[in-house]
Structure 1
Amino acid sequence: MFVLPSGGGGGGSNSVAQEVMGLARLGVDARLAVNAPNYAKFVTAYPELEALKVPVLSYADAAELAPHMASCRVVVATTNRSVFDVNNARTELLKGSPQAPVKFAYYVQDYEPLFYPANGEAWLKAYQSYSVLKDAMLFAKTKWLCDIVYANHGIRVMKVAPSIDHDVYFPDLRRNSSQLMVAAMLRPSTPRRAPWRTARVMEAISRNHANVSMQVFGATTEELTSAGIELPPGVKNWGVLRRAEVPELLRGSDLFLDLSDYQAFGRTGLEGMACGCIPVVPILGGTAEYATHGRNAFVVDTRSDQQILSAINTFLKMDLTARTEMRQQALETAADFTITKAALSELRIFRHLAFSEG
């Protein structure tokens, strides 16, 4: 059982939900537990879970989570908050059943201390989350995450395979547009995704490449205005897109800008590649799992506007043959990242954990 206190829609939630479904398709009894305030939103975001008969359980607190855990061989936390939910529920479970055979794991989706100001209460909880669940197995989808947890906490993290949903993210090779389209996500509520930097770069594209179309998603126009972000004239803002709408936007785009400070994985960049859209991704973090600069993506130091714009200019000046080859390389790379491969890599470590001594 994966414990996921989230309403869904984000990269980490998508990863967990689709890999639980992947395990279910393999015949594994896999389920999810979602905290009560997010439950309705979560099940609405992932209707496929009901079609696959994957149980999605609601819990209000540790006392309600503990009974859900009682019948499980492995319980997996997925965020720093869920680590504490699981740990508190574990205490409740062991009160009533001291010999319960449940084993515990933490699917590390990001290095969450980076989400908060250093040494604050939220930062401290995130920092503690890697060690609070005693005897738990930690695993992550990128070498960067494995390395950063070990460097800061001395805790070994096992590596599993990343995945994207190819039933949703696929190309439209019939698309034939003479006008290049650049897409980006602007979400001021998540500063590490660098919405102000992204808007600044799009302004430069607008000045230097009048023949290029641009579109953004992730926030309403009102939210952008409140954050002090003004889009260049002609940029289409699609607002907050549903999960199923993002691939449509990517399929209609040639270049996707992810100018985040860092990316633990950078799911949308890889999803863009699966749609035939070339991503610009940050060099800091885990994008090396899939992105090779100049071959299937542009990997840049996002602290440098000059380096970002140089990569964008390189792509925009390519001839059709060069862009087509780059798109082919991106599609071939993305094809290797399947849900089945990710589910099998997780199943291997769950079996090891479930049947290990102690």
Structure 2
Amino acid sequence: MSSFSPKIHPQVQLPHYKLDHAGVEYQPQSIDIIVCIHNALPDVQRCLASIREQSSLPYQLILVDDGSGDATRVYLDELLSAQPDILLLRNATARGYTCAANQGLAVSHGDVVILLNSDTIVTPFWLERLLACAQSDARIGLVGPLSNTASWQSIPKIEERGDWASNPLPLDLTPAQMANRLGATALHLYPRLPFLNGFCLLIKRAVLLSVGYFDEEHFARGYGEENDYCLRARQAGWELAVADDVYIYHAQSRSYSHEARKQLAEAAGQTLVAKHGQEIIDQGVAFCRESRVLDSLRYRAQQLLTRWDFIAQAQYQWAGKRMVFILPVMEAGGGANVVITEIRALRRMGVDAQILNFEHHRVGFERSYPELDVPVIYSPTDFGIPDLCMNFDAVIATANNSVSWIAPLAKRANAPILGYYIQDFEPYFHVDKAARHRWFWQSAWLRRRWASYYFRRHPDFRAAWLSYLQIPDLVCFTKTEWTRQEVLRQVKRNCHVIGASFDLDLFCPRRERSTDSPLVITAMVRPSSVRRAASRTMQVLRAIQHRYADHVRIVIFGVTDEDLKAVGLPQDFAYENLGMCSSARIAALFGEADIFVDFSTFQAMGLTAMEAMACGMAVIVPQFGGTDSFARHEENALVIDTTSYQNCYDALVQLIESPQRRVSIMTQAHQQIVQHSPERSAYGMLRRLFEKS
């Protein structure tokens, strides 16, 4: 990895911020926008029109006409007559981009200056969001957006047929629409880069005062001048950031032909090497190419259109439908998190999706979800639930006990559609000793035999079992094929698979890989659930820490220190315990970690492993259950028989001692997991509920 040390900061709260309706914060500052122009009139017209239409903050527009032909000159003269507040500079003959940019910089006085190519189209809230990124950290000196073609800032691809990718938008999608979709799901990571593309470059006034202008002597015609400036700014102590919530369209190669552009770029590259040396350039290029944070932005961009296709189709078919999910929980948990994430997706689809919980859960629930953006109905008792649900089109149970609460609705006239969101085969929650063994999970026949035994002897098992049969026309849907098969085999009821999903807008990488710091290994430890194999997990982690000592850092969560002591789990090794964590805290941990292990005996889906994969981690998951809905052994995960201590230990050793294998698994996991969006599952849910009605 290169010696460039990036920083990725969440959006910082600064005093006296204004909050705009794009959801970003900024301090008012004077802004100069400099556009250098050399012919290509249609592009110039589109660019200037977009600035006028999409810029809601005050700004000074500075145009530098660098020897354009008559048509462009006449247009600019007419524009100046109509808008006399524009500052127009003019060169009789073309001096080249670098000189033209310096002319604009020399007359600018703004607190921030934005150099904008004339073949760009800016989009809604571009100024606010660029400014918010610049102000998120005083050390940031330069800011650039994402684009279709902007070298390392390109999404969703950076290369194509040996050249920079052009990433054309679909014919039915405008730059503004693309920007709105990107901004709606942006993570506001503001990743740091060693180089920024000059097609749209925000520069703070303090940088101009400390670094100066572009190097006209070496890069008079452009191409390379921004790389040189980035290197000089970094040498002066400034950081370079990408505003990952800004998308600006770039046509490219308009003022110069494609071949001329390549020749200029090659010549500039040689000059850059002569001035700064090959090593620092190679380090920067290697960082940009290997950045898992940038990879994450690209992978998510690849799924962006698909996610919004689901939203658009659902809006067309089911906008205005009303749904309520019976979610009787007091504390945050994986199952509740999935439901809430998909309710948010449903609401983006125009569906009025709400939660129904109990009044006596309110304090704990609102403490667990302090910023919940979903409407919640609180019922004093379960007896009042049917009356509260009659005005909805669909009522969804999310746990076996909630099925009985909505069952009376089935007997009412004009009753809503009743559904059951089955995330697990809940009778197995009450199977203890047998579920510890491999043979129990290898044989569906044995599970049926044991189910018969538990049905007769365990009332909670029996209640969970019967919940699947309590309502004749109940629409059942589940996350994985394994759960569907289990319900079908055990109770002869079919379910619809809507697919595994997780909060794609929360879980992401937050740092780059490092070969210098210890490997961060994480695990959820939950002694209250036998199938989570807390003892085996802690034993493996202890052995790993004793073997590798300072080369690894063990971090666990999901259990208090008191509970660890109470159940006698191993504690005689170096580890950190984060205790009970919110999703945001787990996302922060995963964003900086390397390996996640789930040594549970089985997983109906494996939500936490999916979240870890989305953060660019290598994961180990159990082969028994539904992890095959997203995990592929030796490809994007290690999928093993976790009932064996030795298997768990050996798999973790392999990931620690084989960096190339680990990185390959990380990369594939990161790239593939983003297809499991909540919109995909929400759309499948709507189809199962409403297509027959």
Length-normalised TM-score, structure 1 = 0.92
CA distance in 2, matches of 1:39, 1:26: 27
Alignment map for 1:1-358 (pairs within 5 Å): 1-50=324-373, 54-87=374-407, 89-90=408-409, 94=411, 98-117=412-431, 118=454, 119-178=457-516, 179-210=518-549, 211-319=551-659, 321-353=660-692, 355=693
Give the fraction of aligned pairs with identical amino acids, expressed as a percent: 32
C-alpha contact 1:84 1:129 (8 A) present in aligned 2: yes
C-alpha contact 1:21 1:49 (8 A) present in aligned 2: no
CA distance in 1, matches of 2:464, 2:415: 27
Structure 1 or 2, whichever has the larger Rg, is: 2
CA distance in 2, matches of 1:62, 1:37: 11
CA distance in 1, matches of 2:375, 2:508: 28
CA distance in 2, matches of 1:300, 1:170: 25
C-alpha contact 1:143 1:286 (8 A) present in aligned 2: yes
User: Higher relative contact order by CA 8 Å / sep ≥ 6: 1 or 2?
Assistant: 1
Q: Secondary structure at the match of 2:469?
A: helix
Unaligned runs of 5+ in 2: 1-323, 432-453
Letter aligned with residue 302 of structure 1: T
Q: Secondary structure at the match of 2:510?
A: coil
1:207-242 per-position Cα deviation (integer Å, ceiling 9, x unaligned): 322222211111111110001112232111111112
C-alpha contact 1:217 1:241 (8 A) present in aligned 2: yes
CA distance in 1, matches of 2:424, 2:368: 21
CA distance in 2, matches of 1:136, 1:8: 27
Name whichever of 335-344 and 169-178 sits farther off.
169-178
1:154-199 per-position Cα deviation (integer Å, ceiling 9, x unaligned): 1111110221112210112424253111111111122221111101
Moved over 4 A (4+): none
1:32-61 per-position Cα deviation (integer Å, ceiling 9, x unaligned): 1112222332234334543xxx32111132
Q: Secondary structure at the match of 1:213?
A: strand
Q: Secondary structure at the match of 1:132?
A: coil
Q: Secondary structure at the match of 1:76?
A: strand
TM-aligned CA deviation for residue 296 of structure 1: 1.1
Letter aligned with residue 264 of structure 1: A
Unaligned runs of 5+ in 1: none
C-alpha contact 2:511 2:592 (8 A) present in aligned 1: no
Q: Secondary structure at the match of 1:131?
A: coil
C-alpha contact 1:301 1:307 (8 A) present in aligned 2: yes
Letter aligned with residue 115 of structure 1: F
CA distance in 1, matches of 2:570, 2:636: 31
Letter aligned with residue 64 of structure 1: G
Name whichever of 39-48 and 336-345 sits farther off.
39-48
CA distance in 2, matches of 1:48, 1:274: 23
Letter aligned with residue 352 of structure 2: D
CA distance in 2, matches of 1:142, 1:309: 27
Q: Secondary structure at the match of 1:214?
A: strand
Aligned length: 344
Q: Secondary structure at the match of 1:256?
A: strand
C-alpha contact 1:202 1:232 (8 A) present in aligned 2: no
CA distance in 1, matches of 2:342, 2:369: 12
C-alpha contact 2:476 2:494 (8 A) present in aligned 1: yes
Name whichever of 116-125 and 132-141 sits farther off.
116-125
CA distance in 2, matches of 1:48, 1:350: 29
Q: Secondary structure at the match of 2:621?
A: strand
Letter aligned with residue 24 of structure 1: R
CA distance in 2, matches of 1:288, 1:48: 33
1:122-179 per-position Cα deviation (integer Å, ceiling 9, x unaligned): 1111111111122101110100000000000111111102211122101124242531
Residue 243 of structure 2 corresponds to none
CA distance in 1, matches of 2:467, 2:515: 48
1:89-144 per-position Cα deviation (integer Å, ceiling 9, x unaligned): 427xx4xxx31231111110111111114231111111111111221011101000
Q: Secondary structure at the match of 1:30?
A: strand
Q: Secondary structure at the match of 1:230?
A: coil
Q: Secondary structure at the match of 1:138?
A: strand
C-alpha contact 1:61 1:85 (8 A) present in aligned 2: no
C-alpha contact 1:182 1:214 (8 A) present in aligned 2: yes
TM-aligned CA distance change 1:60 to 1:177, over 3 Å: farther
TM-aligned CA distance change 1:78 to 1:249, over 3 Å: same
C-alpha contact 2:409 2:415 (8 A) present in aligned 1: no
C-alpha contact 1:17 1:46 (8 A) present in aligned 2: no
CA distance in 2, matches of 1:235, 1:303: 23
CA distance in 2, matches of 1:63, 1:76: 16
CA distance in 2, matches of 1:275, 1:238: 18
TM-aligned CA deviation for residue 276 of structure 1: 1.1
C-alpha contact 1:69 1:75 (8 A) present in aligned 2: yes
C-alpha contact 2:427 2:465 (8 A) present in aligned 1: yes
TM-aligned CA distance change 1:246 to 1:67, over 3 Å: same
C-alpha contact 1:45 1:243 (8 A) present in aligned 2: no
